[in-house]
Homo-oligomer: A and B are copies of this chain.
Amino acid sequence: MKLYTFFRGSSPFRLRIALNLKGLPYESMPVHLGKNEHQRAAFGAINPQQLLPALLLEDGQVLTQSLAIMEYLEEKHPAPALLPKDPYGRARVRALSLLVACEIHPLNNKRTLDYLRSGVGRSEEQVADWYRHWIDDGLGKLEAAMTRDSASGRYSHGDTPTMADCCLVPQVFNAQRYKNDTSRFPTVMRVYAECMKLEAFDRAQPSKQPDAE
């Protein structure tokens, strides 16, 4: 499998963690978002949405959207599981994942920030304020969801890592990069620290990628 990735992009980061947790080898195909390589025709032929990540399978098919790809990996390679067995638990893990994927990340990804600059005329400082606002808002919602019931354990859900952790960790990396005050989210940060003890998470982090700068 070939993973079209960018070391700093948080959706490819989710997928690197999931692939590592499942012990699935892949070849990194770096696409430099900063140089807008994702907008070039060469990558458009892989993913017409021109978004990262994309996963090229052995049979030539291409999967897109990180959460859809994680579900595919879960169905094709069920062990170790990234979703619990019970329907309510599965819904909870998916909801925690979507909290990051729908409520935080789209507001802070590159094309949104680019449009804030070019279409809305925001300065770099104002763009950073926008970024931090949505991290504060979204990690606050995640903290509330994780502390609501007793289902969060060592990790976001129970005592084994799930899709929710694959989404949480890259988002915390972003929060730290933008110097958000993460002390407001003690449960999120406790789970983050637990995850980073695992080799699958550690090896997936931006600074350890072949295209790291």
Contact = CB atoms under 8 A, between A and B. Distances in A.
Contacts of A50: 141
A120 B112 contact: no
A145 B72 contact: no
A38 interface: no
B48 A98 contact: no
Nearest to A72: B91
Residue of A51, A69, A94, A133 with most chain B CB atoms under a 10 A cut-off: A94
B106 A48 contact: no
Given A49-B144, A101-B102, A103-B51, A91 B71 contact: yes
In the complex this chain forms, how many copies of it are found? 2
Contacts of A69: 91
Nearest to A112: B107
Interface stretch (A58-66, A153-161, A174-182, A201-209): A58-66
A53 to B, nearest CB: 11
